[in-house]
Structure 1
Amino acid sequence: MEIPVLNEGQLDRFKLHLIEEERSPNTIEKYSRDVRALLANFPGEVGFTKEMILDYKQCLLEKYKTTSVNSMLVAINQFFRFCKREDLRVKLVKVQRSTFREHRRELSLVEYKRLVRAAQLKKKERLSLLIQAICSTGIRVSEHRFITVESLRKGVVRIVGKGKERTVFLPDKLRKMLLDYCRRKGISSGPVFVTRYGNPLNRCNIWAEMKALCASAGVESTKCFPHNLRHLFALSYYRLEKDVVRLADILGHASIETTRIYTSTTDTECRRSLERLSLLA
């Protein structure tokens, strides 16, 4: 049997396969990038072996964090499966799940409010409202496009993605703020957070705009990124309701184990708990 050649042509066919599988644009872009990096590491090579892939895996471990390496290996393994080269698939690196979050990356409620205030002082109204929309609903940054004028009128956002659908309720204060914003900006239908050309904001631009607030807000850059707003929502909700099952539904998690990561304590809180035990003589 002829062994499939692994090259850019196969990568193009793999991308079409992902589109047919209804994978998200972000997933397709990431998988393509990871596979392209593999192919670039062996220019002109067609006779891939398991040893070559294991060496590549080791090189990745020397350059990136384990979690990042595993995400790359998932993409590569999917590519090998598509190419019917199961013999090249490699195991992911086992990682012991951390029982706490890193305090230095944790965004506090006070810091969040400083970010909102900094955006307002810089006359970045759209950014200020987007930060508040993400943090008060727990949506992913890529899901902001589902917040439309139509959804504001209903007070409910219907989010479709990753092969499933979920409903997100909008706090009444947020709904009124966004309706007022749309009225003043002349946005009569469709997504609320758009560019001057009417296209939904790009996640990279949102990231960059948030990073630009760090200095004036007095927030460390390691804490200033959109996904941390989702974490703050999850932690605030859990501390109030203590309902991890309902929180998983709101966040759109398929597994409660994923939600538990969002609700775990920080390393600082863990240390304080150990000190309060008073078990030393």
Structure 2
Amino acid sequence: MEQMDFSIEVSESEIEKFADYLYQKENAKATINKYMADIKKFLSFLADDKRINKKVLLQYKEWLVQKYAVNSVNSMLAALNQFLEFLNVGKLKVKRIKVQKQPFLQDQKELTEKECRKLIATAMAEGKEQLALCIETIACTGIRISEIKFFTVERVKSGKVEIYNKGKYRRIFLPKVLQRKLLSYCHNNQIAEGWVFVTKNGKLKDRSNIWREMKRLKEKAGVAESKIFPHNFRHLFARIYYKVTKDITGLADLLGHSSINVTRIYTATTETVFQKKLDKIVEQEILECTT
């Protein structure tokens, strides 16, 4: 009962301090923004009474479960637990919801190589060369959309792009065909130095804008909207790389994963592909023996 009885009052002023706390922990800007939004949602839930204890936190968890998908709930609880650590009341942390891992991709979300090429061709046909190159860059290197900021003219010329993200450093080697396309784009658009993917004003292209531009290609490309998001091109790269090399350790290094278990998610096949493989095995190896 000790946790239920213990309580602490949260003040609005601690929110900004929390942002600085996350920055000091070297969290990415996107992560900080996400956590801040989640904690503001939590404070909104508290309404006028800002005193929290274990009971209130469990009520908040139940409220989230009723309103959001499980993955979203766990994401918001992760932010909440970080906030509790910041307040030095880690003993009040709330357990996230356990989710059974799905060994298969959803067919309606798997992006095929053919669909990727359609999206690139559609972007080029609409005069959106930069968008086409952005898709190609992710699909050919496996980078995260947030990592396009590391693609500078200088690095592209060297053929190697050093990336520092999530506290880890890794080096990406550019395929020659992609390197030539990027350098040609920079030359034609008079980008002599610095970032490759920039706005007309020379500012770094915002990833949310890139995502929206990708979505607009859906009708002319004939690709389902559920398949068009930046991370899906990263997944496509991972599946193709693993299919060709069977080198999951090397793939983990390329993707910047600390655990191969995370990389396995990227190499998963769909239920349809698994069903076909299973049928083939049974027909050729098991039922054949009984005929």
TM-score tier, shorter chain, comes to: over 0.9
Distance 1:144 1:171 in 2: 16
Q: CA RMSD in A?
A: 1.5
**More deviation, 185-194/44-53:** 44-53
Q: What is the TM-score of this pair, normalised by structure 2?
A: 0.93
The equivalent of 1:214 in structure 2 is 218
TM-score normalized with structure 1 length: 0.96
Match of 1:156 among 138, 156, 160: 160
Quick one: which of 28, 50, 53 aligns to 1:46?
Answer: 50
2:267 is matched with 263
- 2: CA distance, partners of 1:7 / 1:257: 39
For 2:37, the aligned partner's letter is R
Larger CA deviation: 102-111 vs 15-24: 15-24
1:130 aligns with 2:140: no
Partner residue of 1:178 out of 177, 182, 192: 182
Gap runs ≥5 in structure 2: 1-5
CA distance in 2, matches of 1:43, 1:239: 52
Report whether the alignment pairs 1:69 with 2:73: yes
2:168 maps to a residue whose letter is: K
Paired amino acid for 2:213: E
1:140 matched to 2:106: no
State the shift of 1:68 in Å.
1.6
Offset at 1:275?
A: 2.7
Instruction: Give, in whole Å, the separation in 2 of the partners of 1:28 and 1:189.
Output: 29
Asked whether the equivalents of residues 15 and 32 of structure 1 are also in contact (C-alpha less than 8 Å), the reply is: yes
| Distance 1:48-1:4 versus aligned 2 partners, 3 A rule | closer
Deviation at 1:5, TM superposition (A): 2.7
Counterpart CA distance in 1 for 2:8 and 2:25 is 21
Question: CA deviation digits over 1:243-271, x for unaligned, max 9?
Answer: 00000000000110000000011111122
Matched with 2:21 is 17
Aligned residues of 1:238 and 1:247 also touching (Cα < 8 A): yes
Are 1:81 and 2:58 an aligned pair?
Answer: no
Amino acid at match of 1:66: V
Q: Which runs of 5+ in 1 are unaligned?
A: none
2:104, 2:186 → 1: CA distance? 40
**Which residue in 2 is equivalent to 1:224?**
228
User: Map of 1:243-262 to 2, 5 A cutoff?
Assistant: 243-262=247-266
Say whether 1:233 aligns with 2:237.
yes
Contact 2:7 2:53 in 1 (8 A): no
Q: Structure 2 CA distance, aligned partners of 1:79 and 1:182? A: 43
In structure 1, distance between residues paired with 2:87 and 2:202: 39
Q: Report the equivalent of 2:3.
A: none
CA–CA separation in structure 2 for the residues paired with 1:230 and 1:214: 18
Deviation (angstroms), 1:74: 0.6
The residue number in structure 1 matching 2:170 is: 166
Letter aligned with residue 120 of structure 2: V
| Mapped contact 2:139–2:233 kept (Cα < 8 A) | yes
The match for 1:95 among 95, 99, 107 is: 99
For residues 188 and 277 of structure 2, the distance between their equivalents in structure 1, rounded to whole angstroms, comes to 50
Q: Tell me the distance in 2 between the aligned counterparts of 1:182 and 1:215.
A: 29
Instruction: State the identity %.
Output: 43
Q: Is the 8 A contact 2:105 2:271 kept in 1?
A: yes
**SS state at 1:232 partner:** helix
Deviation track 1:128-147 (CA, whole Å, cap 9, x = no partner) reads 11110110000000000111
Q: Is the 8 A contact 1:4 1:83 kept in 2?
A: no
